[in-house]
Structure 1
Amino acid sequence: MDLNLVRVFVAVYETRSLTTAGARLYVTQPAVSQALARLRRELDDPLFERDGRTMRPTPLADTVFPGFRDAVAGIDRTIDAVHAFDPSASHRLFRIALSELGEIGWLPAILSAIRTRAPHMRLEVVSLDVEALPEWLSRGTVDLGITTSHVPGGFDRRLLKSQEYAVAMSAANPLAEGTLDLEAYVAAPHVTVGGDSGAPMLVAAQRRAGIVIEPQVAIRHVTTLPPVLAASRDLIASVPDTIAAGWAATWPLVVRPLPFAMPPVEVYLYRRATTQHTAALDWLYATVARAVEGSSGQFFVIHGDALAAAPTA
């Protein structure tokens, strides 16, 4: 069988699109259609059926894809070993999905690590959508994703960090004095951040403790949280403890332990399952992992100053 037919099949299966597969392979859509027609004759199966704008694989396509994918990846890695990927000469564009916290905390270290070895490589940051991430990684829409959420699909992943949660509040909050107990925690008005990917684990821990928290204030951006807390005498927020401690260095905030048990939240780096540019992806995956593992995060950049608001409520 012509290896090019296998490459076309893998590209169509991963992208679910003849046009996108052609763009990945640097050929026209008619060329993809012709190759797919030959492969259909070879295997005596339609392989893909159009479902709206998507090419839906048949049961046979689902069956042969793992073997075809592994074969193409194995050949590409063998060729890459001969020609050795050179990051200093790469102009490839890669996409990484990051939450707002991830972009603030880890992106400076990631960029520094990449640009030191690959100054011409291009990087695009995509706002993390946990629900969409499995499809993005399956189709190669993004190359990497960093999240605390479990991503189904059997993707390669690497543990980067293990993060505890704590309670942050204004230093003027009456709860800042002494130990914060569960009753006071439940009674206090809470503020939450919509972009916190660790929130599901926090809610699960609260439920195990027999409590349900209905936030009084819900905000969209984590950068808003320190000034909101600093300006309030009663609001509290449950956030990663190292991040809260960094804010407390410049904002009039204090950090207290959670009054209930919560396992550490694990931060993982996921990589796409698609087969294109395997050697470059191997390099990027390892480089990003080392950069995040070796960084304490740049969360302190959300800092306060002499003009920080005084508590008003």
Structure 2
Amino acid sequence: MMNDATLRKIDLNLLLAFSVLMQERNVSRAAERLLLGQPGLSAALRRLREALDDELFVRVGRGLQPTPRALSIAPAIEDALSGIERAIRPQAEFDPASWQGEFRIGMCDNLESAFFGPLAARLLQLSPGARLIGIASDKRDAARRLDEGVFDFSVAMHDEPASWHIRAPLFDQVSICIYDEAQLGLKAPLSLKDFANVAHVTVSFEGNTSTGIDMALNRTGDVRQVVATVPRFSALPMVLKAMPAIATVPESIGRCMAQLHGLMLCEPPLSLPTDPVTMLYRRVDQTDGRARWFRRLFIDVANKALEASGCCVSIPRAAA
């Protein structure tokens, strides 16, 4: 264990002055290297002599001759200064091409359906030695699991973050209606009457049937009939293909479902609130090269996925 009382007598500049004097054996040249005047270097040498209780350097002619004590401690001081220099040296830029390890991301299944595939494909191109791990997560447990190191960052509609977290805005998620035209027998655009009178399917992990849609309908004096609730978005397309019903889902996953399952999309016939999707990560990872590269990669991939699906949103790169 370090002796704090001993170290308090010495500061790093004194040790650096000692090292340079050992190398130069000349006060003028040492002062020039240290960007000090000779009086300043002489004062530093005086403090060193007092702290170490040794003369350390003796003037011989125009040069300096180190004492036996100076010679004995010089290698250890040189090693210590070299170690400090290596420790505080600017970080090397993260190289994804040579890195091997895991990237871990937390997302709920609707965002996972929209972004995980393109993210995995892009990561395979840029970092072939890496592995992408998707963790099922939402805003209820994101902060806790982030602190536990379960994932590098979470993408969800997060609540106000703790001071040791950073919540960066990504995009505002709008809602879109999706249904099987053959089953429902309706063509877009839907009227408010059609929307309120058809059967509805909702998605809720906890089994809730009431959402912001019901609040919006109440303001118009309408009520909808929810006939089924599924816990995951992945189950929704098969339900809609099997029965005459409609669902209102986030636009990003709705466009994926429509493309994959031949479903019809249309805008809701009433004004619905948007949901702010954000990225949550630890403040301690803000400048880490690997973590920052991964966050920026996700933003690039998500932007391209949203553009390709026809969603009219873009994610600011400054989010990472």
Q: Which bracket does the TM-score occupy, shorter chain normalised?
A: 0.5 to 0.7
Work out whether residues 177 and 267 of structure 2, in 8 Å CA contact, stay in contact via their aligned partners in 1: yes
Letter in structure 2 aligned against 1:239: V
Report the counterpart of residue 282 of structure 1 in structure 2.
Answer: 292
Q: Distance in 1 between matches of 2:184 and 2:99?
A: 56
Alignment of structure 1 residues 27-176 onto 2, 5 Å: 79=88, 81-150=90-159, 152-154=161-163, 155-173=165-183, 176=186
Taking a change above 3 Å as real, the CA distance of residues 120 and 257 of structure 1, as seen in their structure-2 partners, is same
Task: Find the partner of 1:222 among 219, 229, 233.
Answer: 233
Q: Distance in 2 between matches of 1:247 and 1:177?
A: 18
Q: Are positions 1:268 and 2:278 aligned together?
A: yes
Taking a change above 3 Å as real, the CA distance of residues 242 and 285 of structure 1, as seen in their structure-2 partners, is closer
Per-residue deviation at 1:120?
1.9
Q: Which has the higher contact order (CA 8 A, sep 6+)?
A: 1
Report the counterpart of residue 10 of structure 2 in structure 1.
Answer: none
Per-residue deviation at 1:261?
0.7
Taking a change above 3 Å as real, the CA distance of residues 243 and 217 of structure 1, as seen in their structure-2 partners, is same
Q: How many residues align?
A: 222
User: SS state of the match for residue 235, structure 2?
Assistant: helix
Taking a change above 3 Å as real, the CA distance of residues 124 and 292 of structure 1, as seen in their structure-2 partners, is same
Aligned-pair identity (%): 21
Per-residue deviation at 1:96?
0.9
Q: Distance in 1 between matches of 2:266 and 2:256?
A: 13
Q: TM-score, normalised by structure 1?
A: 0.58
Per-residue deviation at 1:132?
0.9
Task: Find the partner of 1:293 among 303, 310, 314.
Answer: 303
Work out whether residues 157 and 278 of structure 2, in 8 Å CA contact, stay in contact via their aligned partners in 1: yes
Q: Which has the larger radius of gyration?
A: 2
Taking a change above 3 Å as real, the CA distance of residues 253 and 281 of structure 1, as seen in their structure-2 partners, is closer
Q: Distance in 2 between matches of 1:150 and 1:238?
A: 23
Q: Distance in 2 between matches of 1:182 and 1:125?
A: 38
Taking a change above 3 Å as real, the CA distance of residues 157 and 116 of structure 1, as seen in their structure-2 partners, is farther
Taking a change above 3 Å as real, the CA distance of residues 153 and 206 of structure 1, as seen in their structure-2 partners, is farther
Letter in structure 2 aligned against 1:167: C
Ranges in structure 1 where 5+ consecutive residues have no aligned partner: 3-74, 300-313
User: SS state of the match for residue 81, structure 1?
Assistant: coil
Per-residue deviation at 1:147?
1.2
Superposed CA RMSD: 3.7
Taking a change above 3 Å as real, the CA distance of residues 80 and 131 of structure 1, as seen in their structure-2 partners, is farther
Ranges in structure 2 where 5+ consecutive residues have no aligned partner: 3-83, 310-320
Instruction: Name segments (4+ residues, structure 1) moved above 6 Å.
Output: none
Report the counterpart of residue 204 of structure 1 in structure 2.
Answer: 212
Q: Distance in 2 between matches of 1:190 and 1:80?
A: 60
Q: Distance in 2 between matches of 1:213 and 1:298?
A: 33
Q: TM-score, normalised by structure 2?
A: 0.57
Alignment of structure 1 residues 7-46 onto 2, 5 Å: none
Q: Distance in 2 between matches of 1:92 and 1:79?
A: 25
Work out whether residues 285 and 291 of structure 2, in 8 Å CA contact, stay in contact via their aligned partners in 1: no
Per-residue deviation at 1:236?
1.1
| Deviation readout 1:73-115 (Å, 9 max, x if unpaired) | xx9xx84734333223322333211222222221122123333
